Amino acid sequence: MQAQWSTRLAGAGAGLVNGLFGGGGGMVLIPVLSRQGRLKDRQLFATSVAVILPVCAVSAAVYLFRGSVPLAAAAPYLVGGALGGILGGKTYGKVSTLWLRRLFAAFVLYGGVRYLL
């Protein structure tokens, strides 16, 4: 019961962040699901993608409806993303991501400072 509500609220928090900032919902969802301790790493990640996908679809629909997305500018990112996604999915678990994760964290911190100034 309690886990159910924390899952729902984590979903809502992820949705709000995703809609407001155009991404990052997984950053809210994954730590909560991880703390619940029911799912292993791969399940945790795959499941969070499955939650974020409809969330993103709703956000994207609103952005499109409000005219905030130039499709021509988006196209090359999407093509690249699909290719990278397939490649990444196939190689998942075969690459150690520890240092990549730290590099990413440092880049996000840098981003935070840049946005704050």
Smallest separation, CB 64 to another protein (Å): 7
114 lies in the binding site for another protein (CB under 8 A): yes
Smallest separation, CB 43 to another protein (Å): 5
62 lies in the binding site for another protein (CB under 8 A): yes
Candidates 1, 2, 10, 35: give the one binding another protein (CB under 8 A). Answer: 10
Q: What SS3 state is found at 93?
A: coil
Q: Establish how many alpha carbons lie within 13 A of residue 6's alpha carbon, considering only the half-sphere containing its beta carbon.
A: 12
Q: Establish how many alpha carbons lie within 13 A of residue 4's alpha carbon, considering only the half-sphere containing its beta carbon.
A: 1
Within 68-107, which residues bind another protein (CB under 8 A)? 68-71, 73-98, 100-102, 104-107
Candidates 1, 2, 35, 108: give the one binding another protein (CB under 8 A). Answer: 108
Q: Do the beta carbons of residue 22 and residue 59 sit within 8 Å?
A: yes
Kindly state the DSSP code that residue 96 receives in the 8-state scheme: -
d(CA 16, CA 22): 10
35 lies in the binding site for another protein (CB under 8 A): no
